[in-house]
């Protein structure tokens, strides 16, 4: 998308980078992890997304001449220039050399486990923090919302939120994330072209309003698009609109064609959906489907379905593309370990703060996902890749050592997969495909227990620390607080 990811950052990241540079710390090896603390939408899971854009970040990252000129002109609040020439010269030839591991797009993920791990020179790790969080936070949020909507719909969902999205880039990546989460198509033509995802659309009220009457508008549309004919029936009187659509549908049948469906975009969708189905069936158009839209979300869709409306497909816009009821995932990116050049052993880093929820976990971390024999997931264990793993028990609640889950002997997989090595993207094309990610979403959701997929009051999935890591963190907290 020709995004300048180096400049797409918070100023303090570049300020800290100059500080590392000045003090000879830029090459200190560091490990950072990106994770989120709370379930989005008060649900029971999230769907990882944004790794394709993260790969794009790696491939294109670098400071342009315009970036350097801009930074050189920034004044320091106390006088003089904010950035000095030696550092700017360094940035002008800057290239990433970090290693990045990430959860595959479409994987169900949970709070307090790493979605992304970045290892490399601390200066580089710091510089990519903001754009990394920007893409993974937003796209994971939208993919999760899409999964919830599609779960409620139990029929194809078309995403058409571009006109309400947060800007052009937000709309494009939201469309991709929506498809990763399970949407059958998007109205966004540019997203369809860029990502190879299905596009769909019919006509708006303005089409109907531009003709002398609704019937002539429907007939003209059917003539132009006999193989994609879904008629929007609520421009004027909805019941009369359905009758006009029936007239056109019967005329199409005589020509050997088919009216695919009608769309209702206003009013009491439950009552109107039932009315439309009855009228279509009585006219012999049993094969004409009903499409519903108008500020839908997973709760409204579930309510309509529970009242017995037979819906062919759904159109969902604003509340999907904008993740309407939750503005952000709240993912964070925290330093967990460092080591000097030539050292083999990592030094733990930990943030304690005044909030228990913000306590971080030290080490170079990964996640093991354990499975029951029937294929459902049993629990996730966060562990340090450089330490011996004790599988006898996992601390399920990081803040309560009495809550433990025995996972010994169950099948498991490791979640973090290579995304970049020495600053080069190593993802294969199929690992970046939105449609492949959609298939992973479907498979991943099938491993969840039904209680974890509830829209209301879902069960909490167990994510815990490997016992040795839990003990190590507890000892480090005590040491940092002066209890030892």
Q: What is the CATH classification number for the domain harbouring 191?
A: 3.20.20.70
Residue 48 pLDDT: 98
- What angle in degrees, to the nearest 10, is found between the helix axes of 129-153 and 298-306? 10
- The verdict on residue 255 lying in a domain is yes
Residue 357 pLDDT: 81
The predicted-structure confidence for 137-170, as pLDDT tens digits, reads as follows 999 999 999 999 999 999 999 999 999 999 999 9
pLDDT exceeding 70 applies to what percent of the chain? Answer: 95
Distance CA 464, CA 113 (A): 8
C-alpha distances out from residue 354 to 91, 287, 344, Å: 36, 62, 32
Q: Give the confidence band of 398 by pLDDT, cuts at 50, 70, 90.
A: very low
Structural domain tally of the chain?
A: 1
**Least confident range of 120-134, 231-245, 469-483:** 469-483
Q: Which of 427, 358, 361 is nearest to 395 (CA)?
A: 361
Q: Which of 210, 207, 255 is nearest to 231 (CA)?
A: 207
- The verdict on residue 241 lying in a domain is yes
Residue 395 pLDDT: 60
- The verdict on residue 271 lying in a domain is yes
Distance CA 315, CA 292 (A): 6
C-alpha distances out from residue 93 to 12, 83, 86, 90, 100, Å: 20, 16, 12, 6, 21
How far is it between the farthest Cα atoms of the chain? Answer: 87
- The verdict on residue 335 lying in a domain is no
| Phi-psi group of 44: left, alpha or beta (phi > 0 → left; psi -120 to 50 → alpha; rest → beta) | alpha
Which element (helix H / strand E) includes 306? helix 298-306
205: helix, strand or coil: helix
- The verdict on residue 273 lying in a domain is yes
Q: Which of 331, 380, 421, 479 is nearest to 59 (CA)?
A: 421
- The verdict on residue 28 lying in a domain is no
Tokens of 304: 């309509």
**Least confident range of 52-61, 405-414, 442-451:** 405-414
Pairing assessment for the beta strands 347-348 and 400-405 based on DSSP bridges = unpaired
Read off the DSSP letter of residue 461: P
Q: Which residue has the tokens 């709760």?
A: 299
Give the bridge partners for 459, in sequence order: none
- The verdict on residue 157 lying in a domain is yes
Q: Which residue has the tokens 């949020």?
A: 141
Distance CA 52, CA 106 (A): 11
Which element (helix H / strand E) includes 302? helix 298-306
Query: Which residues lie below 8 Å from residue 250, measured CB to CB, with a gap of 6+?
Result: 283, 284, 285
* CB 321, CB 164: distance < 8 Å: yes
Distance CA 233, CA 242 (A): 6
Q: What's the whole-number mean pLDDT along residues 392-396?
A: 61
The predicted-structure confidence for 373-389, as pLDDT tens digits, reads as follows 899 999 999 999 998 88
Domain that holds residue 240: 143-321
- The verdict on residue 31 lying in a domain is no
Q: Is the pLDDT reported for residue 257 higher than 70?
A: yes
């Amino acid at each position: 998308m020709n995004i300048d990811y180096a400049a797409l950052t918070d100023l303090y990241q570049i300020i800290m980078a100059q500080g590392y540079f000045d003090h000879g710390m830029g090459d200190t090896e560091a490990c950072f992890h990106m994770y989120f603390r709370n379930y989005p939408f008060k649900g029971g899971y999230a769907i990882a997304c944004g790794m394709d854009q993260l790969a794009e970040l790696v491939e294109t990252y670098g400071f342009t001449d315009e970036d350097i000129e801009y930074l050189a002109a920034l004044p320091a609040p106390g006088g003089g220039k904010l950035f000095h020439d030696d550092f700017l010269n360094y940035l002008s030839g800057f290239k990433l050399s970090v290693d990045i591991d990430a959860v595959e797009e479409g994987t169900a993920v949970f709070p307090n486990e790493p979605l992304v791990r970045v290892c490399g020179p601390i200066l580089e790790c710091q510089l990519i923090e903001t754009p990394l969080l920007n893409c993974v936070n937003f796209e994971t949020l939208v993919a999760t919302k899409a999964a919830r909507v599609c779960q409620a719909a139990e029929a194809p969902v078309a995403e058409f939120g571009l006109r309400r999205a947060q800007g052009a880039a937000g709309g494009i990546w939201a469309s991709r994330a929506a498809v990763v989460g399970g949407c059958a198509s998007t109205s966004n033509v540019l997203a369809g072209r860029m990502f190879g995802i299905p596009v769909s659309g019919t006509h708006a009220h303005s089409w109907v309003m531009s003709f002398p009457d609704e019937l002539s508008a429907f007939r003209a549309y059917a003539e132009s698009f006999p193989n994609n004919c879904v008629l929007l029936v609520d421009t004027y009187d909805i019941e009369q609109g359905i009758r006009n659509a029936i007239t056109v549908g019967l005329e199409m049948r005589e020509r050997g064609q088919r009216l695919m469906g009608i769309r209702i975009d206003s009013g009491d969708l439950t009552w109107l959906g039932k009315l439309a189905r009855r009228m279509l069936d009585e006219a012999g158009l049993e094969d004409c489907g009903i499409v519903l839209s108008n500020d839908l979300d997973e709760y409204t869709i579930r309510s309509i379905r529970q009242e017995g409306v037979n819906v062919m497909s759904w159109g969902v816009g604003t509340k999907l593309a904008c993740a309407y009821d939750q503005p952000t995932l709240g993912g964070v990116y925290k330093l967990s370990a460092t080591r000097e050049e030539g050292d083999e052993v990592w030094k733990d880093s930990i943030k304690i703060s005044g909030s228990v929820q913000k306590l971080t976990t030290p080490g170079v971390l990964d996640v093991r996902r354990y499975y029951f024999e029937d294929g459902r997931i049993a629990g996730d264990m966060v562990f340090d890749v450089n330490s011996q793993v004790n599988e006898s028990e996992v601390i399920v609640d990081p803040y309560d050592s009495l809550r433990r889950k025995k996972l010994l002997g169950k099948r498991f997989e490791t979640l973090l997969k290579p995304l970049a090595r020495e600053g080069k993207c190593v993802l294969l094309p199929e690992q970046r495909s939105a449609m492949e990610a959609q298939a992973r979403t479907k498979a991943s959701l099938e491993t969840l227990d039904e209680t974890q997929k509830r829209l209301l009051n879902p069960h909490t999935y167990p994510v815990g620390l490997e016992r040795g890591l839990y003990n190590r963190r507890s000892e480090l907290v005590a040491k940092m607080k002066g209890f030892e």
